[in-house]
Amino acid sequence: MIPAEAGTSAVVLDRVTVAYGKNRALQEVSAVFPRGAVGLLGPNGAGKSTMLKSLLGFIKPSAGSMRVLGLDVASQPLEIRARLGYMPENDAHIPGMNAVTFVAYCAQLAGLPQADAMQRAHEVLYYVGLGEARYRNVETYSTGMKQRIKLAQALVHDPDLLFLDEPTNGMDPKGREEMLELVRDIAHNKGISLILSSHLLPDVEYTCDHVVVMDKGRVATYGSIDELKGPAGRVYEVRIKGELHKFIAALEAQGIECHETDEDIMRVFVPASHAAGEARRVFELAAAQGVQVRHLRPSLPTLEDVFAKAIGEA
Amino acid sequence: MSPIHDQTYRRYAGHREPPGKTWAVIAWAGIRNMLTKRAFLGLLIFAWVPFLVRAVQFYVAANYPQVSQIIAPNAATFRDFVSQQGTFAFFITIYVGAGLIASDRRANALQIYLSKPIRRVEYIGGKLATLLFFLLGVTLLPALLLLLIQISFAANIGILRAHPFLPASIVLATLIQTLVMSCTMLALSSLSNSPRYVAILYTGAIFFTTAIFGALAAITGGTRVAWISITSNVSQVTDAVFRQAPGYQSPWQVSLLVILGLIAISVSVLERRVKGVEVVS
C-alpha cells in the first residue's frame, strides 16, 4: 500500500513487477522515494538498475504503476524525462564529440535553445571539474573524467530529479571524494532531488538522507537513514574463542541479533528491552555456552548494520 | 573532503522547446559531423562530376544544332542520370549510414538519447534525415538543377512540354531510391556495434541479391526473377516512374511491393533495436 506522503514524493512505485522472460527482476515492488537525496542500496542483481530503467521508461513493467514527480510514467514519459537527469552506470557518450559539444548537444536534446545550451555546457563542465578539459574529445577521457561528464550531461538541462547509477564506479579515492562532494552539494544546496543507486554503503551514507534497500527484486527496507540506524538498542563488536555457531544460536534465542563480519569480529545487536545490563548478558551467555569473550567493545550503528539486517530479513 | 571545484551551477529558468523538434537537432549534428571529414567532402565533390558532364552535354545540345539530334536531353537522359547517381549514393550510404546507429550502440549513446525527452521515432527520424540529406544532395538536387539548366540553356520549356511528368518523376524516383537505401542501411546499422561490419553487411546484401538474380537469369534465360535483386527492383520502378520501357521482364508492381516490404522490414527492425536498454532474457 502506498503511504499518504506519496503525493509530495519524488518517486512512487505501486506493486511494480518487471520480468525478463521467466526471471522476475522486480517483484510487486511498492516504495516511496521522498524529495532530497535517497540512496538505492542492494547487492548486485537486486533490481536497482532495473528500477531506474523502468522509471525512465526504458523497460515496461508487466504489472503495477509508477509516478515520478507526480507524473505517470506510462502516460507522460516525455514530460518526466524533461525534468529528469540520468547518469548511466556504464560508459556512455556521443561518439566523435568534444566535451563541451557533447554536453551542449545533450542540453539541446532536452529542449534548450542552442545559445543557452552552449552557455550551460560551459557552466556545468566547470562545476563538475572538467573546465580545463572541455575541448578534449570525450573518448580520450580517463574513467574518472568519463564519470564526471556523465554527471554533466545529466545536469545540463537543470533537472528537478537526478538518477545516478553507481556514480563513483572506477574512480580513484580522490576523484571519488570529489564526486561524492558534488553529489552532496547537488542534493543539499542546489535544490535537486536525487536517487543514488549504489552498492557502496559509505557513498550512500555520506550523500543521502533516506535509503531504500533492495534484495532479490523486493524492497527489503526503506526510510530515513537516521531512523533506520535508530537508537532502538546497542551494538557491540564481539570476538570469542569457542564454538561460534552455538554461541550465535544462544544469543538469537535471547532475541539478540548477530552478524558475522569479514574478520573474526561479529556485530551483536542488543535490543532496547535488554538495555539494562546488556553487556553482562552477553558475558553470561558466553559463560553458559563455554566460550571465552576475547573482545567486547560498544560500537555505533552504521548503514552497514541496517543493510545487513534488511538483507538478512528479506 | 576536498572543496568543490567551482560553485558556478545555477538553475535554468530560460525557454525550453516543446518535444517533437529534436530530430532536427540530431540531424544537424550528424550533418555537421560528416562535413568535418575531408575524405567525405572529396566523395561529395566527386559525386557532382556527372552533373558537370551532363551540363556540358546540355550546353552543346542547345548551342550546336548539328549534334543536338544525338545528344538532346529527354526523359531517358534524366532516368539514366538518376540511375548513374545511384552508384555515388551507394558509397555515401555506406560512408554516412554504417555508423549512424552502430556507433551510438558501441558508445552506449542510446541510453543518453532516450533519457532525454525524445521519442524513439524522433531519434530514428534524425538519423534518417542525416543520411537522406546527403543522398538527396547527390541525386535529387543535381537532377533538378540539370532540368533547370536545360531550360535555361534551351531558353524554352520544350522539355517540360514534351515530358510534363519529368519534375515529379525526378522527385519520386530519387525519393524511392534514397529511402530504400537509407532504411535498409539504418536497420542494418541498428543490428551491430561495428560500423565496419555494417558496411560489409550492406555491401553483401546488395551484391549477393544481384549475384543470385544474375545466376537465376542465366539459368532461366529470362529476367522474370529480377525482383530478387534490390538494385534491379529500384531500377525497374525507376523505369516505370520515368515512363521508360522496363529493363526486366518482372512487373514493376512486384518490384514496388518488394521495395515497400524492405522498408517495412527495416522499420520493424529499427522499432525492435532502438531501445534505451538491451534486455537479454
Contact A131 B281 (CB under 8 A): no
Q: pLDDT digit string (tens) for A7-22?
A: 579 999 999 999 988 8
Q: Is the predicted pLDDT of residue B5 greater than 60, yes or no? A: no
Residue B78, classified by CB atoms within 10 Å of its CB into exposed (0-12), middle (13-18) or buried (19+), is buried
**Cα angle for residues A78, A81, A82 (degrees, 5° grid):** 85
User: What is the predicted pLDDT for the residue at B180?
Assistant: 97
Which helix (H) or strand (E) segment holds residue B49: the answer is helix B49-63
Give the mutation candidate from A53, A58, A112 for the B interface (greatest B CB count, under 10 A): A58
d(CA B17, CA A51): 29
Q: pLDDT digit string (tens) for B199-217?
A: 999 999 999 999 999 999 9
Mind giving me the DSSP string for A202-259?
Answer: HHHHHH-SEEEEEETTEEEEEEEHHHHH-SSEEEEEEEEES-HHHHHHHHHHTT-EEE
The nearest alpha carbon in chain B to A101 belongs to B29
The bridge status of strand A193-198 relative to strand A23-33 is unpaired
Q: What does the mean pLDDT of chain B come to?
A: 93
3-class secondary structure, B191: coil
**Cα angle for residues B104, B107, B109 (degrees, 5° grid):** 55
Q: Pick B14 or A285 by higher pLDDT.
A: B14
Mind giving me the DSSP string for A82-145?
Answer: HTEEEE-SS----TT-BHHHHHHHHHHHTT--HHHHHHHHHHHHHHTT-GGGTTSBGGG--HHH
User: What is the predicted pLDDT for the residue at B281?
Assistant: 42
Q: Is the predicted pLDDT of residue B25 greater than 70, yes or no? A: yes
User: What is the predicted pLDDT for the residue at A275?
Assistant: 57
Find the mean pLDDT for residues B29-56.
96
Question: How far is residue A262 from each of residues A212, A259, A266, measured CA to CA in Å?
Answer: 24, 10, 9
Give, as one character, the DSSP assignment of residue B250. Answer: S
The residues, any chain, with a CB within 8 Å of residue A279's CB and separated by 6 or more, are A236, A296, A298
User: What is the predicted pLDDT for the residue at A1?
Assistant: 46
Contact A113 B1 (CB under 8 A): no
The nearest alpha carbon in chain A to B122 belongs to A109
Q: pLDDT digit string (tens) for A122-139?
A: 999 999 999 999 999 999
Of A56, A106, A123, the CB nearest to B276: A56
The nearest alpha carbon in chain B to A25 belongs to B281
Q: Does any CB of chain B come closer than 8 Å to the CB of residue A148?
A: no
Of B2, B118, B119, the CB nearest to A181: B2
Q: pLDDT digit string (tens) for A132-178?
A: 999 999 999 999 999 999 999 999 999 999 999 999 998 999 999 99
Of B2, B118, B275, the CB nearest to A177: B2
The nearest alpha carbon in chain A to B13 belongs to A158
> Which residues of chain B does A115 touch, with a Cβ-Cβ cutoff of 8 Å?
none
Instruction: Name the nearest CA neighbour of B204 among B225, B174, B237, B230.
Output: B230
> Which residues of chain B does A78 touch, with a Cβ-Cβ cutoff of 8 Å?
19, 117-119
- Residues in chain A, pLDDT under 50: 1-2, 4, 314
The residues, any chain, with a CB within 8 Å of residue B79's CB and separated by 6 or more, are B169, B173, B238, B239, B242, B244
Find the mean pLDDT for residues B253-259.
97
Q: pLDDT digit string (tens) for B62-120?
A: 998 888 778 889 999 999 999 999 999 999 999 999 999 999 999 999 999 999 999 99
Q: b/e per residue, A198-207, with b = 16+ CB within 10 A?
A: bbbbebbbbb
Q: What is the pTM of this model?
A: 0.86
Q: Are A241 and A292 in contact (CB under 8 A)?
A: yes
Give the mutation candidate from B6, B34, B112 for the A interface (greatest A CB count, under 10 A): B112
> What values do phi and psi take at B14, rounded to 5?
-80, -170
Residue indicated by cell numbers 580545463: A132
Torsion B69-B75-B76-B81 (CA) sign: positive
**Cα angle for residues A94, A99, A101 (degrees, 5° grid):** 75
